[in-house]
């Protein structure tokens, strides 16, 4: 299930929105929560920041897994949404874009690749990176915060 996502900066996201937009924020509650880039708290944080900066946020929606499209398709979302900020991986973003084809759907994360997780050690380790993130192969990230570990704690072999 678990992939690693890294955050897109708030300034980047804000620059893709207009003050006239009616914005829905959608978060997945699975992998992105592990990576510290999504989940209910991150969604609330994003909504508060946008509202403080004068944007209109009409909806905040959580999905267990945004890549399960029927959840996204059937969710009750306000009429007239013009922009959607998606705190999910690229697959979750695709799922949301399938519903909001004509709207501005912004991915608030960068999908780095697939990880193995060790909850006892509190880390996830990047095992299968996408091309742009190959230099991060074998790096470990703190679970729930996504903070890069200075020192690896999993004794897991990594295939170059």
Partner 1 sequence: MIVSLRSMTYDELKDQLSKDDKIVVWACNVCVKFCDVGGRNHMNALADKLEADGYNVIRRELIGMSCLQDLVRKRGTDEATAKIFEEATVIIPLTCEDGNENVKHVFKGKKVIDATKTIGLGVFSLEKGMTINYPFENTGLEASVDGIPLEEAAKKLGCHAGPY
Identity of the residue, 2 or 56, whose beta carbon is nearer to partner 1 in the bound complex: 2
Stretch that binds partner 1, among 37-45, 52-60, 76-84, 151-159 (CB under 8 A): 151-159
Which of 9, 15, 20, 70 is close enough to bind partner 1 by CB under 8 A? 70
Neighbours of 37 (CB within 10 A): 25
Identity of the residue, 43 or 107, whose beta carbon is nearer to partner 1 in the bound complex: 107
Identity of the residue, 120 or 150, whose beta carbon is nearer to partner 1 in the bound complex: 120
Which of 3, 27, 29, 35 is close enough to bind partner 1 by CB under 8 A? 3
To partner 1, the closest distance from the beta carbon of 124 in angstroms equals 9
Measuring CA to CA, which residue among 4, 13, 32, 142 is closest to residue 40?
A: 32
Identity of the residue, 56 or 91, whose beta carbon is nearer to partner 1 in the bound complex: 91
Partners of 26 in beta bridges: 61, 86
Interface with partner 1 includes 115 (CB under 8 A)?
Answer: yes
Q: Are 13 and 29 in contact (CB under 8 A)?
A: no
User: By three-state DSSP, how is residue 90 classified?
Assistant: helix
The alpha-carbon radius of gyration of the chain (Å, integer) is 16
User: By three-state DSSP, how is residue 151 classified?
Assistant: coil
Measuring CA to CA, which residue among 126, 122, 96 is closest to residue 111?
A: 126
Binding site for partner 1 (CB under 8 A): 1-3, 65, 67-70, 73, 89-91, 94-95, 97-98, 101, 111, 114-121, 127-128, 130-131, 154, 156-157
């Amino acid at each position: 299930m678990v992939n690693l996502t890294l955050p897109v900066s708030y300034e980047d996201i804000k620059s893709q929105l207009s003050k006239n937009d009616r914005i829905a924020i959608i978060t997945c509650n699975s992998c992105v929560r592990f990576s510290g880039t999504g989940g209910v708290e991150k969604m609330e944080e994003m909504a508060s920041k946008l509202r403080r900066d004068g944007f209109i946020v009409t909806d905040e929606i959580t999905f267990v897994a945004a890549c399960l499209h029927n959840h996204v398709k059937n969710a009750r979302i306000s009429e007239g949404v013009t922009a959607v900020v998606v705190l999910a991986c690229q697959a979750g973003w695709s799922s949301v874009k399938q519903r909001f084809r004509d709207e501005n759907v912004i991915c608030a994360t960068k999908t780095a690749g697939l990880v193995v997780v060790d909850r006892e050690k509190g880390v996830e380790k990047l095992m299968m990176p996408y091309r742009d993130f190959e230099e991060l192969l074998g790096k470990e990230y703190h679970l729930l915060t996504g903070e890069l570990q200075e020192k690896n704690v999993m004794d897991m072999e990594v295939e170059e």
